[in-house]
Structure 1
Amino acid sequence: MANPEDASRKIASEDVECATVDIKLGAAPTFAVAAELKARGIPFIFITGYDWTIVPQEFSGVPRLVKPVMPGDIIRHLIELT
């Protein structure tokens, strides 16, 4: 998704099994999207170039992959979530 609003619409309108969440989409942080996923019980991983310390405590157990990320690593982590 290009922005958090698009991601929220997709989460609300489709059957999402799991997700990857980039900590920032454009200039906007995506913690609201992560909160929506968590509230719906949808497993997700963070993909980011940012330090883990910017992630709110409520997401401390969410796996995080650091950019650059190999596609195989993303797939492996998503498989482990489902």
Structure 2
Amino acid sequence: MIIAMEAEEILRDLGYEDCHVCGSVRSALKLIADHPITFALLDIDLGSETSEEIATTLLSRGTPFIFASGYNEFPELAKDLVEVPVVTKPYTASDVAGVIRKLGL
């Protein structure tokens, strides 16, 4: 959760004022259903889950997002998610900003 809070702080510093942190796939999907999401930073590995279902939902809605990972190797993802940009932990605000710029946001 500390890493999620640091990511939230980075996003706020980059101008994303309305940030939400979710601790599970279920809570993230509920958030997506209940709120307009303009951008997401998804940790790939959520312990006993991955964020693949969240990513697929965002992709189907046309919502831009990036993955974060603490590993050099990533779990096998659906083919349509392979090209999603990734920042590797420990990442900095500059790293995140650079990837966001590549998305044209």
Which TM-score band (shorter chain)? 0.7 to 0.9
Confirm or deny: 8 A CA contact 1:47 1:66 kept in the other structure.
Answer: yes
Give the number of the structure whose residues are more often strand, by fraction: 1
CA apart distance, 1:80? 4.0
Aligned mates of 1:37, 1:48 — CA distance in 2: 18
Which residue of structure 2 aligns with residue 2 of structure 1? 23
Aligned mates of 1:54, 1:65 — CA distance in 2: 17
Q: Count the aligned residue pairs.
A: 82
Q: Using a 3 Å threshold, how does the CA distance of structure 1 residues 80 and 14 change in structure 2: closer, same or farther? A: farther
| 1:31-70 equivalences in 2 (<5 Å) | 31-50=52-71, 51-52=73-74, 54-70=76-92
Greater C-alpha Rg: 2
TM-score when normalising by structure 2? 0.69
CA apart distance, 1:64? 0.7
| 1:63-82 equivalences in 2 (<5 Å) | 63-81=85-103, 82=105
Structure 2 unaligned blocks of 5 or more: 1-21
CA apart distance, 1:12? 0.9
CA RMSD in angstroms, aligned pairs only: 1.6
